């Protein structure tokens, strides 16, 4: 199967579920961003020193410079000084959007329990990267707070994914059921404010892809009902066009509008 490069306009989902409603989030986002500003300011000083050295993106024969930070408890960010800000953001959920569990379970176990959801996923991401898009994953991982997911193992998994792709990616993780969690937009807002080099996104060309789209049972043969609408509403709250993994990677038409 071939990957599809185009996106389509998202519509706001009318079916609201618990903890997934579209809401006025900007005041809460502003307060959170203010609280996180001190951390980001310290990081920008370090990034500026590295930028002043005139270092270019290294060849992939050398290890990628990937660094995790935790600006606030339960909020983790993977970034690299080799990632440049971009007006083009290709944003994705991770589990069952980019990757499936290698073991076949609903929830992956350990840093090695993953595989590409479709064979063309890595090809699509590399094409977007070559076209100037910055690849960013936004993922809810409440299992960390519940003690079901080891954060160090999870962090290593994303480093492994980046190394498999052959270029650095950004990852934003909400590890608890709180204000960082999608469909709230704080992870996106923080990325644009402090991890995009001061560059404003081109909202007409940026997009978000995720599997929590509110599709009903049987949206394709044998498919179960989507567990949530959080990905669709995350895109709607931000103002991004939205696609499911099947639409984005496989060029399948939506069968559940």
Q: Domain ranges for the chain, please list them.
A: 26-52+65-250
Q: Which band of pLDDT confidence, cut at 50, 70 and 90, is reported for residue 255?
A: low
Region of poorest pLDDT, from 6-10, 125-129, 210-214: 6-10
Residues forming beta bridges with residue 241, ordered by sequence position: 207
- CB distance 60 to 36 below 8 Å: no
Rg for the chain (alpha carbons), in Å?
18
- CB distance 154 to 112 below 8 Å: no
Distance from C-alpha of 187 to C-alpha of 214, rounded to nearest angstrom: 21
Beta strands in the chain (DSSP E): 67-72, 75-79, 89-92, 99-100, 115-116, 134-140, 170-174, 207-209, 241-243
- CB distance 71 to 41 below 8 Å: no
**Average pLDDT of span 145-158:** 96
- 54 contacts: CB under 8 Å, gap ≥ 6: none
Largest CA distance in the chain: 55
- CB distance 141 to 181 below 8 Å: no
pLDDT at 253 over 90: no
Q: Which two tokens stand for residue 165?
A: 């792709």
> What are the start-end ranges of the H helices in the chain?
26-52, 121-130, 151-165, 186-194, 230-238, 245-250
Q: Which two tokens stand for residue 131?
A: 């076209």
- DSSP 8-state class, residue 134: E
Q: Indicate left, alpha or beta for 10 from its phi (over 0: left) and psi (-120 to 50: alpha).
A: beta
55-94 pLDDT per residue, tens: 333 344 467 899 999 999 999 999 999 999 999 999 999 9
**Of 239, 249, 247, nearest to 22 (Cα)?**
239
pLDDT at residue 10 in the model: 46
pLDDT at residue 27 in the model: 55
**Of 211, 248, 251, 250, nearest to 90 (Cα)?**
248
pLDDT at residue 2 in the model: 52
Q: Which two tokens stand for residue 54?
A: 């005139």
Region of poorest pLDDT, from 49-53, 62-66, 132-136, 227-231: 49-53
pLDDT at 26 over 80: no
173-229 pLDDT per residue, tens: 999 999 999 999 999 999 999 999 999 999 999 999 999 999 999 998 888 999 999
Region of poorest pLDDT, from 30-34, 39-43, 202-206, 221-225: 39-43
Q: Which band of pLDDT confidence, cut at 50, 70 and 90, is reported for residue 245?
A: very high
Tell me yes or no: is domain 26-52+65-250 CATH 3.90.1150.200.
no
- CB distance 85 to 198 below 8 Å: yes
């Amino acid at each position: 199967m071939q990957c599809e490069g185009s996106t389509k306009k998202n519509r706001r989902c009318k079916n609201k579920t618990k903890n997934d409603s579209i809401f006025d989030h900007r005041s809460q986002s502003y307060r959170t961003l203010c609280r996180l500003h001190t951390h980001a300011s310290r990081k920008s000083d370090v990034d500026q020193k590295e930028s002043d050295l005139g270092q270019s993106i290294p060849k992939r024969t050398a290890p990628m410079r990937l660094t995790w930070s935790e600006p606030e408890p339960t909020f983790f960010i993977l970034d690299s000084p080799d990632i440049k800000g971009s007006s083009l953001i290709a944003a994705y959920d991770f589990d069952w959007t980019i990757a499936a569990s290698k073991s076949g379970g609903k929830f992956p176990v350990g840093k090695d329990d993953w595989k590409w959801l479709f064979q063309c996923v890595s090809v699509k991401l590399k094409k977007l990267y070559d076209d100037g898009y910055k690849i960013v994953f936004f993922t809810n991982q409440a299992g960390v707070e519940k003690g079901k997911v080891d954060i160090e193992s999870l962090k290593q998994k994303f480093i492994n994914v980046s190394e498999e792709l052959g270029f650095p990616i950004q990852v934003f993780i909400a590890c608890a059921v709180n204000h960082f969690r999608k469909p709230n937009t704080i992870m996106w807002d923080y990325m644009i404010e402090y991890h995009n080099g001061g560059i404003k996104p081109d909202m007409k060309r940026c997009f978000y892809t995720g599997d929590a789209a509110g599709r009903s049972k049987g949206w394709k043969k044998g498919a179960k009902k989507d567990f949530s609408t959080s990905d669709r509403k995350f895109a709607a709250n931000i103002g991004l066009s939205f696609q499911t993994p099947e639409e984005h990677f496989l060029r399948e038409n939506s069968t559940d509008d």
